[in-house]
Chain A
Amino acid sequence: MTETVLETDGLTKRFGKLTAVDDVSLSVADGEFRSVIGPNGAGKTTTFNLITGALSPSEGAVRFKGEDITNVAPHERVGRGLGRSFQITNVFGGLTVRENVRLAAQSVYSDEINPGEALFRDKNGFDEIAEQTRTVLEQIGLRDRADEHAEALAYGDQRRLELGLVLATDPALVMLDEPTAGMSSEETQATMNLIDEVLSDRSLMLIEHDIDLVMRVSDRITVLTRGEELASGTPEEIANNEDVRDAYLGGVRE
Chain B
Amino acid sequence: MVAADFIEQLLNGLTLGMVYVLLAAGLSVIFGVMDVINFSHGELFALGAYFSLSIIAPFGAGTGFWIAIVVAPVAVGLIGAAIERTTVRPLYGRDPLYHILLTFGLVLVTNDVIRLIWGTQQRQLAVPEYLSQPVSILGVQVSVYNYFMIVFAALLAVVTWYLLNRTKYGMIIRAGSQDREMVRNVGIDIDQYYTLVFGVGAALAAVAGIVLGGYQNVNTGMGNSVIIPAFVVVVLGGLGSFRGAVFGGLLVGVVQTLMRAYSGSVLATFGDTTLTVPNLEGLTVYLLMIAVLLVKPQGLFGTRGEESDGEGEILVGGYGGVLADSTRVRLGGIAVVALALAPIAILFMGDQYYLVVLNEILIWAIFALSLDIVMGYAGLVPLGHTMFYGVGAYTAALIMLHYSQSVFIVLLGAILICAVLAWVVGSLSIRVSGVYFAMITLAFAELLYSAVFKFDFTGGSDGLLGFEALLGLGTVGESLSNIEFGLLGYELGQQFVFYYLALLIAVLSFLFARRMMNAPFGSVLQSIRESEERAEFIGYDVNRYKRRAFVISGGMAGLAGGLLAVSPSTVIISPDQTLNWIHSGEVIVIALFGGMGTLYGPMIGSGVFFGAEEFLSSYTDQWRLIIGTMFILFVLFVPRGIVSIPSLVAQRLETANNADGAVDMDEPDVRSDD
Q: Which A residues are within 8 Å of any B CB, using their own CB?
A: 52, 54, 73-76, 78-79, 83-84, 86, 90-96, 99, 102-104, 106-108, 110, 113, 117-123, 126, 149, 165, 168-169
Contact = CB atoms under 8 A, between A and B. Distances in A.
B538 A90 contact: no
B515 interface: yes
A52 B539 CA distance: 11
Contacts of A121: 519-520
A45 to B, nearest CB: 13
B538 A91 contact: no
Contacts of A94: 316, 526, 529-530, 671, 673
B475 interface: no
B538 A95 contact: no
Nearest to A74: B536
A222 B522 CA distance: 42
A120 B673 CA distance: 17
6 contacts: A52-B537, A78-B538, A79-B539, A93-B530, A110-B520, A165-B534
A95 B671 CA distance: 9
Nearest to A102: B523
A-B pairs, 8 with minimum CB distance:
A78-B539, A107-B539, A92-B530, A104-B538, A118-B521, A118-B520, A90-B534, A123-B523
Max chain B Cβ within 10 angstroms of own Cβ: one of A52, A99, A103, A120: A103
Contacts of B522: 123
Nearest to B526: A95
Contact of B537 (A78, A93, A110, A120): A78
B541 interface: yes
A131 to B, nearest CB: 16
A52 B534 CA distance: 12
A71 to B, nearest CB: 15
B606 to A, nearest CB: 24
Interface string B4-45: 000000000000000000000000000000000000000000
A76 B533 CA distance: 14
Contacts of A119: 515-516, 519, 521
Contacts, number: 96
Interface residues on B, range: 20 to 34
A106 B526 contact: no
Interface in B522-550: 522-524, 526-527, 529-531, 533-542
A54 B542 CA distance: 13
A74 B530 contact: no
Contacts of B617: none
Contact of B534 (A92, A110, A113, A122): A92
Contacts of B541: 73, 75-76
A108 B538 CA distance: 9
Contacts of A117: 519-520
Contacts of B524: 103, 106
A136 to B, nearest CB: 12
B533 to A, nearest CB: 6
B518 interface: yes
B526 A75 contact: no
Given A95-B530, A103-B524, A103-B527, A108 B539 contact: yes
Contact of A99 (B316, B521, B538, B673): B673
A148 B518 CA distance: 18
Given A117-B519, A123-B520, A75 B536 contact: yes
B523 A103 contact: yes
A169 B538 contact: yes
A123 B538 CA distance: 17
A83 B536 CA distance: 11
Given A91-B534, A94-B530, A149-B671, A107 B516 contact: no
Contact of A75 (B519, B540, B673): B540
A110 to B, nearest CB: 7
Contacts of A120: 515-516, 519
Nearest to A104: B538
A33 to B, nearest CB: 21
B539 A75 contact: yes
Contacts of B518: 122-123
Nearest to B528: A92
Nearest to A96: B673
Contacts of B534: 86, 90-92, 165
Nearest to A116: B519
A90 B541 CA distance: 17
B531 A90 contact: yes
Interface string B228-269: 000000000000000000000000000000000000000000
B261 to A, nearest CB: 45
A118 B531 contact: no
Max chain B Cβ within 10 angstroms of own Cβ: one of A90, A108, A119: A119
Given A94-B671, A102-B523, 12 more contacts: A75-B540, A78-B539, A90-B531, A91-B534, A92-B534, A95-B530, A104-B538, A107-B539, A107-B540, A117-B520, A119-B521, A120-B519
